[in-house]
Amino acid sequence: MQQNDTFAFIFDMDGVLVNNMQMHARSWVELFHDYGLEGLDPERYLRETAGMKGLDVLRHFLDKDITPENAERLTELKDFLYRFMYRNDIRPIEGLEKFLDSAEKLHIRLGVGTGAGAKNIEYTLGIPGLKNRFSAVVGSHQVRQGKPGPDIFLRVAELLDIDPSRCIVFEDALPGLEAAYAAGMKSIALATTNPKEIMQGLPGVVAVADDFTTLDPRAILEKSFLPQPSES
């Protein structure tokens, strides 16, 4: 890898920078129960809609005709419940801070592309270990189409001033991995939300890991962008 090569790492936020997707799922389930939707468990939310915009989650589970205004109101309620439940436990996922330090030493550009809204972004990226780490941050409220559409990741690449083909996305959710592939980006899947066997072999996925303790930025770049020896 040449010194003048420029690459970017783009991180989903929930389930990647912090291991909080079970808490998000519990918050949605509690909200849905309050509105009369029974029989939904956190695993179904994670499997079917993790990483999507609140509007898309609500249309999937609660009301396919819900207005954007009502969806925004209910998403705000859910997000307040999430922040209340998680306030004393939020911290960077294992190995992340060391991984970011190593990436910065290699002059890799760092960004965040998340389905979360503005308040949750501020809440999460303001914690010790994450504050001021990222040069570009894009949330669902800043693009027309959320994941699995590519808009969020493409906008991050634009803000980082780098071609999408030179970006690696770190994702935990299936819609997010689909979005990365649609954006023309390779991805690393984090097994915080879905089992490894579900994500292995998905288009664009270079590797699957439990957290960042086993990941090395230089090795990821070499595996993703250098020609690999052909099998004889």
pLDDT reported for residue 227: 67
Q: Report whether CATH 3.30.450.40 matches the domain 21-86.
A: no
pLDDT reported for residue 2: 43
166 pLDDT band, cuts 50/70/90, is: very high
CB 73 within 8 A of CB 15: no
Asked if the domains at 8-19+92-225 and 21-86 fall in one CATH topology, the answer is: no
pLDDT reported for residue 215: 98
Residues 26-82: tens digit of each pLDDT: 999 999 999 988 888 898 988 888 878 899 999 999 999 999 999 999 999 998 998
Of residues 142 and 22, more confidently modeled: 142
Q: Is the pLDDT of residue 155 over 80?
A: yes
pLDDT reported for residue 12: 97
Residues 179-224: tens digit of each pLDDT: 999 999 999 999 998 899 999 989 999 999 999 999 999 999 999 9
Q: Say what percent of the chain tops pLDDT 70.
A: 95
Domain parsing of the chain, residue ranges: 8-19+92-225, 21-86
The pairing of strands 186-190 and 167-171 is parallel
Query: Domain 8-19+92-225 class?
Result: alpha beta
The pairing of strands 205-209 and 136-138 is unpaired
Return the axis-axis angle of helices 21-34 and 54-61, rounded to nearest 10°. Answer: 50
Residue reference for tokens 């800043």: 142
If 0-12 CB within 10 Å is exposed, 13-18 middle and 19+ buried, where does residue 171 land?
buried
